[in-house]
A and B are shown apart, each in its own frame.
Chain A
Amino acid sequence: MKFTLSWLKDHLETTADLNTIVETLTKIGLEVEEVFNPAENLKGFITARAENVTMHPDSDHLHLLSVNTGAEKLQVVCGAPNVKEGLVGIFAPVGTVIPCYNEVLKVGKIRGVESFGMMCSEKELGIGQDHTGIIELAPDTPIGVNAAEVLKIDPVIEVSITPNRAECLGVRGIARDLAAAGLGTLKPLNIKQTQGTFQSPVSVTVQCADACPVYVGRYIKGVNNKAQTPKWMADRLTAIGLRSISPLVDVTNYINYDLARPLHVFDADKLNGNITVRYCTEGEKFVSLDEKEYALDSKSLGICDDSGIQCLGGIMGGLEKGCSAETTNVFLECALFEPVCIARTGRKFGIESDSRYRYERWVDPKSNILGSNYATQLILEICGGEASEIMVCGSEDVPPRVAYLRPERLKTFVGIDVPAEKIMQILQNLGFGVSLENGKIKAVSPSWRGDIECEQDLIEEVVRMIGLDEIPAISLPHDKFPKQTLTPMQANVVTVKHELASRGLLETVTWSFTDSKLADVFHKSNQPEKILLANPIAADLDEMRPSLLPNLLIGAKNNIARGYPNVSLFEVGPEFFGRAPKEQLTVAAGLRVGLTSAKEWSKSSRAFDVFDAKADALAVLAAAKGPFESAQVTTDAPTYYHPGRSGALRLGKNVLAYFGELHPSVCKKFGLKGRAVAFEVYLDNIPLPRNTHDKAKKKLVLSAFQPVEKDLAFVVDKTVSGAALLAAAKNADRNFISDVRLFDIFEGGNLPADKKSVALTVTFQPQEQTFTDKDIENLMNKVEVEVTKKLGGQLRKGA
């Protein structure tokens, strides 16, 4: 909401300067966003008189003048048609910055004659729109005076109005609030009540009083819409960013911003019969004045004549019956519409307008006749004409809106004691009808306030006027030793992030949306349908992501394109498996592409592989206190992983994680040339430790005897898994085998095509006494028997 200082002062009698006004506005909740004061751009500009005006020797329209600044006389070339001997105007000396061009003025040479400055127009000074000639001040204006002192400069103030303060969408509402805050007095509103001289030839029928409780109509004949909008009005409209169009349009716009009172004017000669206010029929056509066609519905409110909808009530006028320069007879509408009806229709059809903006918040229900009279007065003054009698459908008598405030409640709620008398005074200043009722303050809202419903609303009014700064700041009382803040799951998330960062991955945060065209391959069996947004911000951000990996892949691709081919990223965030609230899982996912490092002297660099992803996944499990040692590894990762280089970590049916190389077709789809490995750990699926109170660590039992290591190699089918071999060997003797490591895998050579040789180092740990050779032989036998029995392996002799 923008307004100018002079406009404000039409309503507010005040001696406060601009700064005080601006500070007070913000303090009372009308936040000032910007102040534009043209005076600040006029430093160096002074009044001066044009003397010795002659024609430029080499031009038929340029003049030469001697500009008298009081201190000196300067030669200036001037092109303005209104320049004349003795004219006092605003002079820009060399070195000033002309606001309109934002350029430093230099000594010019125009058609061979030097010019030391210029005489300025309003537009050039940024204080008006007039550019037909230079500014002409009263002839007795002293010369050599700062321009800002003699010009009528009108600073523009922009405030942000919260939705509850609809009355401040009019300058008068703002003036009233400032007056209540002690910054002056509100001037009375002097609106002439024009007596009609004839009966309106257009009648009004309201068929839906629920949506349109009041409709005030008036016919004005013989207007001249070619008349000039008065300069003061056009200047104010321009200053707040509106265009001056024609007197009739300008008057409705002006009142909209002056009193927050929307109006509409029909060209009465274009109307076909009388006005009916009714709900539209389904699909009924309407063409708005900005030439868009709508098929309305039965909840939309139409202002109609016999040929159909001519105005979408409270939102926008129609193209057909609008005013033009030729308009001579008009029908003036000043009505009240229900906010919910306006908001619904506006939102449904996506139509924004100043009128809708006000109606859907609150329009003073007692301002219809007043608004009509104000518009009549201005139209008659500017365009001439003759007004009909005023027609009022419905009644402006609305039931009083009452709220109560207990002064002691204000104290327990806000923390300061305000005497009842002071509270009542504040409310009265804001226009409330105030009385005491059984110790409670009864406050009847003024008609322009639609937002006061309960005690807290009144408390806010009091607090706002006293000033929030007057309320003390008291620290929240709290325990000296607060308990742990994070839940075990929340703490796990933090630990997991730090673990992954310490493993060399960079944490990223990506959108919870993704590109459904790229993400379709990431749907797992529990995600049968795409969760598509109704109104995505972009076509490639249209789906709630079924996995974190698509966005990580996009991130990797972008980094590669920027010249960073080795990328390790992780994210902890939601993936979605349904459209209802809570149908989401918290996932720690990571992606590694390229090499472990760029090539370097120690030759340590290598490509990332599936075991990097597996190591990351296991590290996350461990960081989340999960079963990283006992989780089973199965080879049934989702299809977006490489079928032979991926796996799942599970506890029975419960999937804790997937890891592996990504399927080459997935990489290709995302524009990655090389391979990529990834992991996804489902943090919600990791069982939390049951007993969190027992902090003691597992008891450490140390043997006094040195362990013995023996290597054993087995020839087994290629299909036998490493995990199975390790488990079989380890289970051969639970007492004395403390560790088994797999240190070599060999295929080919003399081995049959379907076989491989796997070498294990088994650690035997004596418990009570050192092993004899016989003991060790027995243990090795046990291993051989267990492996051959379980897995059909054969011990490789001489290994």
Chain B
Amino acid sequence: MENLENLKQQILNSINQSADIKALEEIRVSAMGKKGAVTELMKGLGALPQDEKIEMGKKLNVLKQEIESALSAQKDALETAELNQKLASESVDVTLPIRPENQGRIHPVSKIYEEVVAIFGQMGFDVAEGPDIEDQFHNFNALNMPANHPARQMQDTFYLPHSATEPFDMDKSYVIRTHTSGMQIRTMEAQKPPIRIIAPGRTYRSDYDATHTPMFHQVEGLVIDKTTTLAHLKGCLYDFVKAFFELDEIPVRYRPSYFPFTEPSAEMDIGCLKTKTELKIGAGNDWLEILGCGMVHPNVLKAGGIDPDEYQGFAFGVGLDRLAMLKYGIPDLRTFFESDVRWLKNYGFAPLDFSSMTGGLSNNGGQTR
């Protein structure tokens, strides 16, 4: 019996002291293998007298279970240690930066386009688009600006000869559109009232400084039906600026002005606070001109084939780039068109930044990276 107890202690000790799975397996074989110490004892059971055999059998079974459980426990411990060691050897410096990912950007002009479309879309406007090269009828004459109209010279028009071979003739030549207002005429030519469109697009004037570039962007608005009044014009534009600047209230004022294609005409100012370092929209005692508007001139309706005694409406025009500068604090118009990657990354918008009246107009595409 003492021998058995000694054997047990000896085996358990060697199990607990085993350093790896291989050594443990050798111990298992030496104890429980075909010729193992315990197996040999089991084999020797048959030679024992019956009562001893039963007694010895029980003890050996207990011994076997104890050894197996010790083997299993040690195996788990060794495997865990081995895995831990492997994992320790696999560690990396997780403070390293990630592999480079290039996140692109949406240009502010595209962003403002989406915002403006979302707002006017809510008011039932369609989006109309037209050519960058225009004939003088659509760009001037039909807009109540005959050949020698002084307003035609307020705009530094780019002319495009009507032919590459014939001598240049200013009267016959095409122009690069000076405004999107020509889309008023093209829309009226294509569609009968009621009309409710905005026409965003590139526009061109020969001018270059911090607030003028030879190309810029405008959005034209046109509403024609039988009942729209100057009061609706004020309401529509107030709703627009409020939604666009995402403010609950915004001070506005209208000043009588002059555009050949509207009568009466007005310019709209919004209230702001101007300091040397910042411009805050919606507060303060200063005014900022934001857009031109008016009731569509009867001559324009006639040019578009619409009876001005039956139909009336309003039109407005606003600079998309200017809206971007005001809303997003971009100081210089010229920088919009310089393709400077530093500028595009800073003032551009995240790829997932879509504008809607439900999901939000601005900054809903997550952080730029």
Contacts and interface: CB of A to CB of B under 8 A. Distances in A.
Nearest to B98: A602
Given A413-B312, A507-B106, A464 B344 contact: no
A414 B208 contact: no
Interface of B: 96-97, 99-107, 109-110, 114, 117-118, 120-127, 129-135, 138, 147-151, 153-154, 158-164, 168, 170, 173-174, 176, 202, 204, 206-208, 214-215, 223, 227-232, 234-236, 238-239, 253-258, 263-267, 295, 297-298, 312, 336-342, 344-345, 348, 350-352, 354
Which of B341, B344, B345 is packed against the most chain A CB atoms within 10 Å? B341
Interface residues of A, number: 104
Contact of A165 (B102, B125, B130, B258): B258
B295 A413 contact: yes
Interface stretch (A21-29, A653-661, A719-727): A21-29
Contact of A503 (B104, B345, B348): B104
Contacts of A476: 123-124, 223, 228, 232, 235-236, 239
Interface string A11-29: 0000000000000001111
Interface in A186-239: none
B190 to A, nearest CB: 13
16 contacts: A412-B312, A414-B231, A415-B230, A455-B298, A456-B298, A472-B231, A476-B232, A482-B123, A485-B121, A501-B103, A530-B164, A533-B176, A544-B133, A580-B133, A582-B131, A584-B131
Given A343-B148, A473-B235, A583 B133 contact: yes
Contacts of B151: 163
A249 B202 CA distance: 46
Given A347-B148, A413-B295, A529-B164, A486 B127 contact: yes
Which of B105, B120, B173, B223 is packed against the most chain A CB atoms within 10 Å? B105
B351 A339 contact: no
Contacts of A482: 121-124
A533 B100 contact: no
A473 B238 contact: yes
A485 B208 CA distance: 34
Contacts of A504: 101-104
Given A415-B231, A454-B298, A509-B337, 7 more contacts: A344-B147, A414-B230, A415-B232, A510-B339, A544-B160, A579-B163, A600-B99
A502 B352 contact: yes
A76 interface: no
A703 interface: no
Contact of A498 (B106, B118, B231): B106
Contacts of A463: 230, 256, 264
3 closest cross-chain pairs (CB), A and B: A555-B339, A415-B231, A29-B256
Interface string A599-616: 011101100000000000
B348 to A, nearest CB: 6
A772 interface: no
Interface string A155-167: 0000000111100
A567 B297 contact: no
Nearest to A342: B148
A708 interface: no
B263 A510 contact: no
Given A415-B232, A474-B231, A487-B127, A568 B114 contact: no
A774 interface: no
Contacts of B173: 534
Nearest to B229: A415
A456 B158 CA distance: 31
Contacts of B238: 473
A29 B255 contact: yes
Contacts of A596: 100, 102
B105 A507 contact: yes
Interface in A403-461: 412-416, 454-457, 459-460
Interface in A455-493: 455-457, 459-460, 463-464, 468-469, 471-476, 478-479, 482, 485-487, 490
A501 B106 contact: yes
Contacts of A536: 158
B339 to A, nearest CB: 3
B148 to A, nearest CB: 4
Contacts of B162: 579
Contacts of B103: 501-502, 504
A463 B295 CA distance: 12
A531 B143 CA distance: 26
A634 interface: no
Nearest to A576: B133
A482 B123 CA distance: 7
Given A506-B104, A597-B100, A340 B148 contact: yes
A552 interface: yes
A59 to B, nearest CB: 44
Interface string A552-578: 101110110010100111101110100
B258 A486 contact: no
A689 interface: no
Interface in A51-85: none
A50 to B, nearest CB: 41
B176 to A, nearest CB: 7
A163 B154 contact: yes
B148 A339 contact: yes
A598 B97 CA distance: 13
